[in-house]
Amino acid sequence: MKSSRKKLFTDLVAEAAGCTLCPAMCGRSAVLSELNGSPDARVMFIGEAPGRKGADRTRIPFSGDQSGANFDRYLNSINLTREEIFITSAALCNPRAESGANRRPTQKELANCSTFLQRTIALVNPRVIVTLGSVALEALKRIQYHELNLKEAAAKVQSWNGRVLVPIYHPSPQVLASHRREAEQLQDYKVVGKVVEQNND
């Protein structure tokens, strides 16, 4: 990575770490650092938000919980390694309900984080973006409007903001059990693998 790009990334990480826009998340840390992957990656995965038992604890997106284990399994199925990708989220901090359980980020929280997502995409400049779940796909609308919805667009190659976009389902156990079975998820990742291969030169 060029030194200027490295500095821009370091500055972005520091800015995210100091962000206090969301009152409910001020006691949490943004999951954005060199642990997210290579800023030179050709493919970027965007999730919903760090999980309480996963990235909020490990500081590594999609790690330490069942969603992370599923994600690694799907990546392995197409011979893609974490060193080759960059992973971020629509919301950089873990949104939690009063009970302590994970919750979906609010529209206000997603709006507050959209600048970080926009700047991360611009900095990494991936050829391929893979959104993991409906929240991540919706978050892209704040950067460049689209009319895609996950149910109709899942695993279909799209064009968005001058990049190749592949919306797929989130790898959470709940999604696996109720919306997208293992065999379907593996087929979705085959599409991702093909698109990455086509855009890897």
In this structure, what CATH number is given to the domain that contains residue 157?
3.40.470.10
Model confidence at 187: pLDDT above 80: yes
Range of the domain at 28: 3-198
SS percent in the chain: helix, strand, coil, step 5: 45, 15, 40
| CB contact at 8 A, 155 and 188 | yes
Q: What is the pLDDT of residues 7-60, one digit of tens each?
A: 999 999 999 999 999 998 888 999 999 999 999 999 999 999 999 999 999 999
Beta strands in 19-168 (DSSP E): 43-47, 85-89, 128-132, 158-160, 163-168
Q: What is the mean pLDDT of the chain?
A: 94
Q: pLDDT grade, residue 109 (50/70/90)?
A: very high
Q: How many domains does the chain have?
A: 1
